[in-house]
Amino acid sequence: MIDRLAGLWRTTRRPMGAEDTETDGFELSRYTLHGDTRTAIERPPRFTASTQAWSYLASWPNQWPVGHAINRGLKVEVDVRLLAGRAEVGLVAGDRETFVSRAELADGAQKVVLEAPDATAVAALVIRSSAEGRVAVEVVGLGSTMTATAKVRERGFLNKNATDDLVARLAGPTPVIVDVGANKGDTVARFIETFPTAEVWALEPHPDTFAGMAQRFAGSPRVRPRRLALSSRAGTSTMHSYTNAAINALSPIAQGAEGLIDGSVVASAAVEVELQSLRQFCANEGLEQIDILKLDTQGHELEILQGERELLRSGKVRFILVELLFSPLYATQARAGEVIGLLESCGFKLFDFYDFVYDERSGLKWGDALLEFASAS
């Protein structure tokens, strides 16, 4: 119990009962400025600064009494105007770095609702920049309420999907999505349906698969097909091809893996494909920020990520949806723990797993993981 309460702001105000609703744990005028942030006016406060990405502008302490917060959830509503730059608002834990809930701000006026299933886990509300440069944010209104009980949704391994979770966690009018290993474009189609204003880069290196995918989205100006693979270097490489296009890879199938792969494994002619690094791809496409990076590259994920630590630590990639392999399917492939470990070392936090596939004899074969950038490490 002590650990649960360590991060909560202690207040001297009297304890509250459930019926005592007029007291609020957040006061608009009670804030702390961070760094070189300035306030132009006092009511409503307008915070301006020229900052590095992920720098705090201001924070408000959680003043809800501890006795009232135990076994309750917390909902915070913020009326805010983003006047310049890019910024986000969020609820942080006692270390002032771990985010319990957060949302990217869109240009102009908006109401942001942040929710935490455990009110004792929230130490403060913060506003921080999400890109280098000048940022200006005006907070018009601020209020919070307790839920009668902490509402925690039970999450199994099957009854959920990553796109629903991304919709709930990703704000902003035009998310930038890069789908690496787009194959026939099923995930691309899901992205553009889920995010109606998104811009989606769809990368597929195999010429035949790429042709079909590009034709599928020929009428969608928001989808930008690119015939290439990402790796740790620029150049070319051999793609091992099969009649089942879903298992085409930069590595051949591992010996004995046929029994783990759905359908027959029949090799077809190998092809030479173009390689780019993630950094080079972003530079060529003029991308300064990626909201969702999806990686489904048949065990090549670590090769793509391990040379991009600086980029990953910068926070320029918000979410990574990555396929993880748990069984030996390819001659060379990343282990699931290696991929997660690298991303965690770069400031990402594992949010959840999805779409696990099992084998009766060998157990878990593969599945997806969603990671969110939390802070530079």
Give the CATH number of the domain where residue 191 resides.
3.40.50.150
Q: Is the pLDDT of residue 182 over 60?
A: yes
Sorting pLDDT into bands at 50, 70 and 90, what band is 375? confident
Per-residue pLDDT tens over the stretch 240-279:
999 888 899 999 999 888 888 876 788 899 999 999 999 9
Co-location of 103 and 184 in the same domain? no
* 162-171, 202-211, 242-251: which is most confident: 202-211
Same domain (yes/no): 46, 101: yes
Confidence of residue 22 (pLDDT cuts 50, 70, 90): very low
Q: Examine the fold and report which residue of 102, 120, 146 is the final residue of a domain before the chain moves on.
A: 146
Same domain, 177 and 130: no
Does residue 105 sit in the same domain as residue 182?
A: no
126 and 176 inside one domain = no
Same domain, residue pair 186 and 281:
yes
Question: Structural domain tally of the chain?
Answer: 2
- Amino acid type, 275: L
Using DSSP's 3-state secondary structure scheme, residue 109 falls into strand
CA–CA distance from 163 to each of 36, 87, 167, 248 (Å)?
Answer: 37, 23, 6, 25
Residue-wise pLDDT for 306-320, tens only, equals 989 999 999 999 999
Type of residue found at 170: L
Q: Within a domain: residue 9?
A: yes
Q: Is residue 156 part of a domain?
A: no
**Residue 274 and residue 335 in one domain:** yes
DSSP code string of 299-330: T-HHHHHTT-HHHHHTT-EEEEEEEEE-S--B
What's the mean pLDDT in 327-356? Answer: 94
CB burial of residue 295 (10 Å; 0-12, 13-18, 19+): buried
pTM of the full predicted structure?
0.67
228-238 pLDDT, tens digit each: 999 999 999 99
Residues 328, 225 share a domain: yes
Residue 154 lies in a domain: no
On whether residue 174 sits in a domain, the answer given is yes
Q: pLDDT tens-digit profile of 88-105? A: 999 998 878 888 888 889
* 192 and 232 belong to one structural domain: yes
360 assigned to some structural domain: yes
What's the rounded Cα separation, in Å, for the pair 6 and 8? 6
Does residue 152 belong to any structural domain of this protein?
A: no
Which domain does 28 fall in, by range? 2-146
In a domain, 155, yes or no: no
Cα angle 348, 354, 355 (rounded to 5 degrees) comes to 145
Instruction: Indicate the residue among 87, 113, 146 that finishes a domain.
Output: 146
**34/93 same-domain check:** yes
Q: What letter would DSSP give residue 104?
A: E
Write down which residue in 114, 146, 178 finishes a domain. Answer: 146
Domain with residue 41: its CATH number is: 2.60.120.430
Distances (CA, A) of 346 to 3, 313, 371: 26, 5, 11
Residue 39 and residue 12 in one domain: yes
Residues 90 and 49 both lie in one domain = yes
